[in-house]
């Protein structure tokens, strides 16, 4: 069987700036940022006290049509797992826009998700029940733990639970895959879903990623690593950048072998590993370069018009990514460097969902010509000499675009999308 085309049939998102992708676009286009002081819990003494959180209450699923008869209000674990609560409305938006149909066994689910976490209050309560210190009271622990079972569920700490629940809700009986690769999770999941369609494993793939890390343990952990902005701002590629800002949200795409009304298709993907350091990128960016070049090779392209960069607002990561882009595209004097922007200036870093929301920005650029800006970018670093989109969205003729996701642990993913051929 020859390789099949892979079409983007529908997209959806829940972001700190809107309860859907369409609701988020206006704010993103204006250069607005969702980064604000954390008020959901006490951040006194934290290295970074800001984040980009999805405001409460979380988006309702009531306006969307679920493909199965399951009552969304009673969906399992929806109230327990914030990852699922963020992702389900995004998937429903994408599914409704896609208007696809396929046998259940020909629908796959490919999602990027990190492990969930039980509420911190419950973890502390269990710790106290265990006696704390060097003692452990089994009887007391058993008595108190039973009272906490309504707040702690096995699914909440499982990366696989989100994809499995989505598959159940959508009646998908094909392959279900969860990728947990830190910041490369969501984009890697889309690459795997596209490859499954291309080689005939499935006809429809529900793909995307979700990040739900605006909570004390993650802010403390990233802060201890020195990865967060002490200034409290996300400004990718700016001379003032000093770290990223944690964000949360979900982005989903429905891919299909049938074109339907699609105007954008997945052209190629590439993945690699730096094999260099757990939290720092290879200073030369060789792993990232391999992923980008692999995506271009599979797409049969040497140039794109736009890059939705990983652009985390960390000093080293932004400079490395910029140098790789310059190496790959800088020699093409006739075509010129592609436009570059990063959505993380507006919605923060979603970790497992970062690449997925970046993909939606690239799809939008091709579909409507709207190239979103890098919020927070005011004074580009000379070390990041790129054609940045600053201030407000711009209209351009975008025929092909690249999305990058460069993760802790050295995992790299790059995806190229373009107009339907």
How is residue 275 annotated by DSSP? Answer: -
In angstroms, how far is CA 26 from the centroid of its own chain? Answer: 19
- 3-state SS, 300-346, equals CCCCCCEEECCCCCCHHHHHHHHHHHHHHHCCCCCCCCCEEECCHHH
The verdict on whether 61 is a catalytic residue reads no
List the catalytic residue out of 349, 361, 384, 388.
Answer: 349
The verdict on whether 349 is a catalytic residue reads yes
313, 234 Cβ separation under 8 angstroms: yes
List the catalytic residue out of 183, 207, 235, 384.
Answer: 183
Packed helices 160-169 and 82-98: angle between N→C axes, nearest 10 degrees: 40
Both structure tokens of 282: 């290879």
Residue 355 CA to residue 358 CA, distance in Å, equals: 5
The verdict on whether 388 is a catalytic residue reads no
**Of 50, 111, 57, 110, whose CA–CA distance to 83 is shortest?**
111
List the catalytic residue out of 48, 310, 361, 388.
Answer: 310
Both structure tokens of 74: 């009673």
Burial status of residue 367 (CB atoms within 10 A of its CB: 0-12, 13-18, 19 or more)? middle
Tell me which residues are annotated as active site.
Answer: 183, 310, 349
């Amino acid at each position: 069987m020859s390789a099949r085309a892979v079409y983007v049939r529908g997209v959806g998102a829940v972001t700190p700036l809107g309860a859907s992708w369409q609701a988020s676009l206006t704010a993103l286009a204006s250069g607005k940022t969702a980064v604000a002081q954390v008020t959901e819990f006490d951040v006194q003494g934290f290295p970074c006290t800001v984040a980009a959180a999805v405001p409460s209450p979380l988006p309702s699923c009531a306006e969307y049509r679920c493909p199965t008869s399951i009552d969304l209000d009673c969906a399992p674990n929806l109230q327990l797992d914030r990852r699922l609560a963020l992702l389900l409305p995004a998937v429903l938006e994408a599914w409704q826009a896609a208007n696809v149909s396929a046998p259940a066994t020909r629908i796959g689910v490919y999602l990027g998700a990190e492990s969930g976490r039980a509420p911190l209050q419950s973890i502390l309560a269990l710790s106290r029940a265990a006696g704390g210190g060097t003692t452990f009271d089994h009887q007391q622990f058993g008595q108190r733990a039973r009272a906490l079972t309504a707040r702690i569920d096995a699914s909440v700490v499982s990366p696989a639970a989100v994809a499995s629940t989505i598959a159940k809700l959508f009646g998908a009986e094909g392959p279900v895959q969860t990728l947990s690769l830190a910041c490369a999770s969501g984009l890697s999941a889309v690459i795997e879903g596209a490859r499954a369609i291309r080689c005939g494993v499935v006809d429809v793939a529900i793909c995307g990623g979700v990040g739900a890390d605006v909570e004390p343990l993650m802010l403390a952990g990233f802060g201890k690593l020195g990865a967060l902005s002490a200034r409290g701002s996300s400004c990718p590629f700016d001379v003032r950048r000093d770290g990223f800002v944690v964000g949360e949200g979900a982005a989903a795409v429905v891919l299909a072998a049938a074109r339907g009304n699609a105007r954008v298709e997945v052209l190629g993907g590439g993945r690699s590993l730096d094999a260099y350091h757990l939290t720092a990128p290879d200073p030369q960016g060789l792993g990232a370069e391999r992923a980008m070049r692999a995506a271009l090779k599979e797409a049969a392209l040497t140039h794109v018009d736009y890059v939705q960069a990983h652009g985390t607002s960390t000093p080293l990561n932004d400079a490395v990514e910029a140098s790789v882009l310059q190496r790959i595209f800088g020699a093409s004097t006739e075509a010129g460097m592609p436009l570059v922007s990063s959505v993380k200036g507006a919605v923060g870093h979603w970790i497992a969902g970062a690449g997925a929301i970046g993909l939606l920005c690239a799809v939008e650029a091709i579909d409507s010509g709207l190239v979103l800006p890098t919020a927070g970018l005011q004074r580009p670093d000379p070390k990041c000499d790129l054609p940045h989109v600053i201030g407000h969205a711009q209209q351009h003729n975008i025929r092909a675009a690249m999305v990058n996701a460069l993760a802790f642990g050295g995992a790299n993913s790059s995806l190229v999308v373009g107009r339907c051929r």
